Amino acid sequence: MRIDLHTHSRVSDGTQAPAEVIRQAAAQGLDVVALTDHDTTEGWAEAGTAAVEVGITLVRGLEISTKHNGQGVHLLGYLPDPTHEPLVAGLRKILDGRNSRIPAILERLNELGIAIHADDVRRVAGAAAATGRPHVADALVALGVVRDREQAFDELLSPGRPAYVNRYAAPLVEMIRILGEAGGVAVLAHPWGRHAPSGMTVDDIAGLQEVGLIGLEVDHQDHDPEARRALAAIADDLDLVRTGSSDYHGTGKKDHELGCNTTEPEQFERLLSLAADAAARSRRTVPEVVVP
């Protein structure tokens, strides 16, 4: 069983349509794949149809932009009812923040003497529901300003670089609660990744577990072997689910190929069982997991 619980499509900042991600996952021999676009569930329907066609199990998920103790934290949510009103409202607010940030970034770039306009970003972002810095990066590549996304982030778009602009993120604890009320489960994405330089402590994680967190993404490309061992030990001590995943972004992110990290079947079974409990408690209609 090969299980990959974190991937992105063009609906956010991946580079393939949801159906293409699913087809590729099946072609590469994965048995289970979760589509977890940033702050939107818009890819679920297309991914579901493709999953039935190719006979792979799809876990409907998303990666929510949150904030905790002044730090950005990515939260993976699996199998919530996507119509739960507080979830819809929370995601709407994040997506509004994403959209209003783009003009501010473009203004910074213009001040730096780089001629880039909203149309340039629109062209590369296509129909993406969640626009972000990666799309600005792609526009800069298309204009020949930089070589790739990496260089755009390193020189211009990362915090501390001249075209960086902050945006709204939802309070982490509130989002964990909302996911639970929606009948889903919450897992911390890459808790010690490069975008969270100071990292979460055991106490932080234990506190989040008290409000409903069920797991940690341990095996992720941002974690070196030592970090993986330490995080796995924390997860085992606290009895949290350990996941592993690629954080695939198509050609948008290097060294994140589908299935490059995977989740152990026993851990996945636990995640599903906790999701079933949450669904029962919430009495909401949650999406199906197993695709026949």
- Residue ranges that bind Zn ion, judged by CB under 5 A: 13
CB atoms within 10 A of CB 240: 24
d(CA 255, CA 220): 11
Contact yes or no for 44/82 (Cβ under 8 A): yes
User: Residue 248 binds which entry of ligand AMP, Fe ion, Zn ion, none, with Cβ cut-offs from 5 to 8 Å by kind?
Assistant: none
> Based on CB atoms, which residue is closest to Zn ion, 13 or 46?
13
Task: Provide the binding-site residues for ligand AMP, judged by CB under 6 A.
Answer: 13, 38, 132-134, 149-150, 153, 249, 253
Tell me the C-alpha to C-alpha distance, in Å, between residue 195 and each of 25, 72, 165, 171, 277.
26, 8, 15, 17, 32
- x/- mask, Fe ion, residues 70-109, rule CB under 5 A, reads ----x-----------------------------------
User: Residue 48 binds which entry of Zn ion, ligand AMP, Fe ion, none, with Cβ cut-offs from 5 to 8 Å by kind?
Assistant: none
| DSSP code per residue over 133-161 | HHHHHHHHHHTTSSSSHHHHIIIIISTTS
> Based on CB atoms, which residue is closest to Zn ion, 180 or 244?
244
When asked if residue 181 is in the footprint of Fe ion (CB under 5 A), the reply is no
When asked if residue 217 is in the footprint of Fe ion (CB under 5 A), the reply is no
When asked if residue 120 is in the footprint of Fe ion (CB under 5 A), the reply is no
Map tokens 């960086």 to a residue: 164
What are the tokens at 288?
A: 């199906």
> Based on CB atoms, which residue is closest to Zn ion, 13 or 219?
13
Q: Which residues contact 111 (CB under 8 A, 6 or more apart)?
A: none
User: Residue 124 binds which entry of ligand AMP, Fe ion, Zn ion, none, with Cβ cut-offs from 5 to 8 Å by kind?
Assistant: none
When asked if residue 37 is in the footprint of Fe ion (CB under 5 A), the reply is no
User: Residue 150 binds which entry of Fe ion, ligand AMP, Zn ion, none, with Cβ cut-offs from 5 to 8 Å by kind?
Assistant: ligand AMP
Q: Find the shortest distance in angstroms from Cβ 253 to ligand AMP.
A: 5
> Based on CB atoms, which residue is closest to ligand AMP, 10 or 149?
149
Pick from 171, 169, 182: nearest CA to 208: 171
Q: Tell how far CA 203 is from the center of its chain.
A: 24
Map tokens 């995080």 to a residue: 231
User: Residue 253 binds which entry of Fe ion, Zn ion, ligand AMP, none, with Cβ cut-offs from 5 to 8 Å by kind?
Assistant: ligand AMP
User: What one-character DSSP code corresponds to residue 197?
Assistant: T
Q: What backbone phi and psi angles, to 5 degrees, belong to 144?
A: 80, 15
Selected from 19, 50, 247, 248, the binder of Fe ion by CB under 5 A is 247
The binding site for Fe ion (CB under 5 A) comprises 63, 74, 189, 247
